[in-house]
Amino acid sequence: MTEERTMREAVIDRAAIAHNVRRLREVAGTREFIAVVKADGYGHGALTAALAAIEGGATRLGVAEIPEALALRAAGIEAPIIAWLHDPVDDFASAVAAGIELGVSRIPQLAAIAASGSAVAAAPAAAASSPGSQFASSGGDSGTRTATRTAGGGAPRVHLKLETGLGRNGLAPAEWPEAFAEAARLEAEGRIVVEGVFSHLSGTSDADDLAQVAAFEQGLALASAAGLRPVIRHLAATAAAIRLPAARFDAVRVGIGIYGLSPFDDASSADLGLRPAMTVRGRVAAVRRVPEGQGVSYGYAHRTARETTLALVPLGYADGIPRQASGRAPVRIGAERFRVSGRIAMDQFVVDVGDHPVAVGDTVLLFGDPADGAPPVEEWAAAADTINYEIVTRIGPRVTRRVEG
């Protein structure tokens, strides 16, 4: 059967994501595994990533925002989902009705979430039809907590986020006593369930991360003294899940690793036993033979050194291909590797292929799994002076996602 192709596409290897989750679960050894599928699954497609992660053994999913969580529920995902970054004026009722677990980074959010739970409970007929409302936590003492849930979503489940030194979101240490006391009061009244406590590491150094681990443990001790018994404590993202056992607690919360990419400068995906899940490729749209001295693309940042062949590739910065990588990033056409020639434009870039035989319709590999011969995404990241995370997450909607595996 002829393979259907488009002139720009990202091929997503679903089996690779499942493999990476299994591998990282094995490395971390934690009771639970939170697969982070925010930002449209780091550009891989949130639903594709969620389904593959669950197949690989993820017990929960993590997203940044409530709309991301609701979209997964609407698509039929029934696993526990945590959303932790909220607009100051967010209405939590839709999330509560859909059984979404909510991160709490400010004390006023506790009252707002509890009020949303009460509103949902007052309208059981509408909430009962919400997908996910029947789902309770897995593991721990969740069996005793399940009784607090109803068909209308029950008591909202929250994860208290502690600021442990990253300087971003979260309850500051000075707020911990008040926040834990208020959470314990609302939980005793049956208005919330404190499902988890979490934080996030800076990844600056082992010493800095261990200092954050110590601060997190202090917060957990205060939470326990206030009468809170969270089912799941999570701190480690991919890097700490692999290299910092002290940060693993009950669960790891893994993003970049499940997509087969390394968070380290000194270890490749293959070194970690991971398989990159995204291959970005296009097709040669035009071929032109030009003389020595021909200027190429805007500003003539590249001029041909001799008579040569130029190949046009219909991918540009509107598709998330970084302009900063102009003149430096690698591509593969056939068995040969080349560099982008001149400036990357909004819709296209040019490759000077010399005398190599290249024809309209030939496949152009930008990045993917080096085991399959594709340039690694890290080379594009280096060419753009950024990190692999940014390259995959910025791939735009004009690039067709095609799922394999």
Catalytic residues: 38, 298
- Which of 266, 142, 272 shows the shortest CA–CA distance to 195? 142
Would you report the helix, strand and coil content of the chain in percent, each value rounded to 5?
35, 20, 40
**Residues 89-97: contacts with CB within 8 Å, 24+ apart?**
90/66, 91/116, 92/66, 92/116, 92/156, 93/119, 93/120, 94/66, 94/70, 95/66, 95/69, 95/70, 95/156, 96/120, 96/153, 96/156, 97/126, 97/127, 97/130, 97/133, 97/152, 97/153
Q: Which two tokens stand for residue 200?
A: 């996030």
How many CB atoms neighbour CB 324 within 10 A?
Answer: 14
Strands (E), 15-150: 32-36, 60-63, 81-83, 101-104
- Tell me, what DSSP letter sits at residue 149? -
Contact of 61 with 96, CB cutoff 8 Å: no
* Residue 346 assigned to a binding site: yes
Say how far apart CA 354 and CA 306 lie, in whole Å.
8
Say how far apart CA 31 and CA 23 lie, in whole Å.
14
Q: Which two tokens stand for residue 289?
A: 């033979």
Contact of 9 with 281, CB cutoff 8 Å: yes
* Residue 168 assigned to a binding site: yes
Q: Please report, in range form, the residues annotated as the binding site.
A: 168, 346
Q: Please report, in range form, the residues annotated as the binding site for substrate.
A: 168, 346
